Amino acid sequence: MRLAYAWHADAGAWAINEKGIVYGVSRLTSTPADFDIRVAAALSALNASPEGARAAVEMLRTLPRPS
């Protein structure tokens, strides 16, 4: 969530609330187009196992950050 807010701030775009904020990142011109897909994949990796949690964390760590 913080990363999505950071992308909006970097682009000078308003993010009013959390509803749709991750999807909104992909519509910003300065961000990767597949940001929302990568976040969804990371969240899908979460399950009751420690391996799923580790995989999700690693996927989220590889997301690009604003400069």
Is residue 51 a part of any domain in this protein? yes
Long-range CB contact pairs, 60-67, < 8 A, 24+? 62/38, 63/3, 63/35, 63/38, 63/39, 64/31, 64/32, 64/35, 65/3, 65/6, 66/6, 66/7, 66/9, 66/10, 66/30, 66/31, 67/10
Q: What is the pLDDT of residues 5-51, one digit of tens each?
A: 999 999 999 988 888 898 889 889 888 889 999 999 999 998 888 99
- Give me the pLDDT at residue 47, please: 85
**Domain ranges, residue 47:** 2-61
pLDDT at 62 over 90: yes
Is residue 45 a part of any domain in this protein? yes
Counting the structural domains of the chain, the total is 1
Which residue type occupies 40? A
Is residue 43 a part of any domain in this protein? yes
Model-level pTM greater than 0.85? no
Name the token pair of 34.
């597949």
Is residue 14 a part of any domain in this protein? yes
Is residue 67 a part of any domain in this protein? no
